[in-house]
Structure 1
Amino acid sequence: MKGYSTAVSGMHTCNPPSSVLDEWLQGHYSGKENFGHLLLEQNEIDRAAISQSLREYFESAHLDARQVFHADIGIDLHPDVDDSTEAFIEYPGCLPRTTRKGLFGEVMAGLVTEGYELVGGHQWCVPIFLFRHHEDARNYLFALARNPERKRQTIGRLGSDFIGLLLNEEGAVVRFIAGEAKWRKTLTKSVVDAVIYGKKVDGPTRGTKVHSGKGVWNELNNDPPVPIGVRQLMRLLQEHDPVGYDMAIFSMEQALVLQNPKPLPRTDLIIFVGNGTAKREKMECLLPFEEMPEDYTAGHDLQLVEVILKDGEELIDTLYESLWSDGDGNA
């Protein structure tokens, strides 16, 4: 039955498949006390087998948004309902290919955060992903269900791509990690620099080009200490499990009040995911890996991640077309 899940809510309940990650990606970590760099390079693997092994994690990550968007569309996910409509619209499978690649990068941010040791050695928890706040995807699916010919590209979701939490023994939040995920078909130095420093614009001298400065560094350096993604996550926990996460909710609320907020330590994560170039050398890095970058002035712990794939687009297609299917690609 398409879209049906036995899960009580849309909470993210799937642990990262550690053995699959070891088979799929070879990791190289470097860093210091408040800075880390992780390079993950794809091994030679069976694409279909890896996508099938990642499927449960990705379904868990998208479940909350799937339930919300399908309810907006008017699709009943109960297993006893006949869903053999002539043109069935579902999330996230029927989103444009470009959108799915962006979603893949965001799920990878959570997968890396939960599956690898990052700067600080913290045991991160990602209780739920923020995909329901992708308003343009919601609008796209609502319209598409009523007019299947109305296909278009979508714009991305604003704010942090994901939020993870570090909980103490009482369940209170003592630190959070805010992630920015960037998928690019081919990762080169110029591509990465355009994301980090902003696209190139006309320079002060005629015929010259310089980076605009409106890239990721600028966004992170000017982001509020506790971004709106923390509020979004707090609201989701209030909706799905207010008792189980009561201390986490309370501690996030203390950090979000306008008057005398309680400081909440933060770790920033930037993850690039994409294919390496044909001439790329093994263990070649496109991001700083020895020292904290001078351009990052936000003052938080910083983790940089590069995930270098060999057939990324094909993997994403195989994976997203398998979600909520019977394993043979049939929904």
Structure 2
Amino acid sequence: MKQTMLGVIDATSYHESLEDLLLHRSLAAVPIAGRYRLIDFVLSNMVNTGINSVAIFPKFQYRSLMDHLGSGKNWDLNRKRDGLFFFPSPDLQGREDGVGSFNHFAYHLDYFYRSKQEYALISNCYTLCNFDFKPVLDRHKRIGCDITELRKDGKPLEMYILKTSLLIDLIENRKASGYMCMKDVVEDLQNTYKVCGYEQDGYVESINSIEKYYSTSMNLLTPDNWKQLFQKNAPIYTKVKDEPPTRYVSGSSVKNSIVANGCFVEGNVRSSTVFRGVRIGKNTTVSNSIIMQKSQIGDNCVLENVILDKDVKIEDGVKLIGDPMAPIVIRKGMTQGALMNS
């Protein structure tokens, strides 16, 4: 597989509904499940499939993404041949619809020319899944497809397999054909290509709104969903951080929650995801919430249906109760006090 297919991850996507979480990071770098980023899933799927040449195409606020991925060591992609590549867009103005912008790819066409892999896998950066792409490629070749589109329950997942030579041709002839991304090609009923669909099984969620991010985080607290996504024979890799175990003070209580390392818990946590280095004060109850890295929650607080971004400070006595369909979001680095909340 490593000599057969290269991976291409489009990290340019932007969804307005997620704006509160995208002020300081790209969509690909949005934290989820206690210690992961959205891009970890597709990238790990590629590595587990045997792909060892992966190109990331970011556009907006990608410093945190580059910091997270680094040299690719945690995905075994820090290698002399192939490995992990970053190709930022030189055009930082405007947004293009559809995964796999041919205009963006055109700036880095040499990468595709130099690639020795016969096939390319193009994917979005925000789908939580655990796929083996080998059967997809095998079927693609067996029935003679030009393009294979992965789907779940009939809905496109914005993941495509095609020959690298065809991808180069689409990039070079984008102005003449009018095709500006993979979606344009697949949805054109008049195209001359054999487009095949491949139905995927298992747990799949695409994060394209705050509501979807919140509901997916809550769904991952269900053991069956967690087991489908995090499999022993196909692990999801992420950046490794050396931190001490979480400390639970006498009288604290945690139920049905994900709690990462380095936390200090004095209060009560129910059906929530708590990232690394979070402090939860005395007589504080956190329920149905997402608390990101290094956030500090004071004493005598009540948080329900809330998303706290990184480094948020909640002062003593604050009460925040959101709606499951519209959770309260506190942006990165903000401070929320009792007087501010009244």
Structure-1-length-normalised TM-score? 0.26
Q: Which has the higher contact order (CA 8 A, sep 6+)?
A: 1
Q: Which of 1 and 2 has greater Rg?
A: 2
Structure having the higher helix fraction is 1
Structure having the higher strand fraction is 2
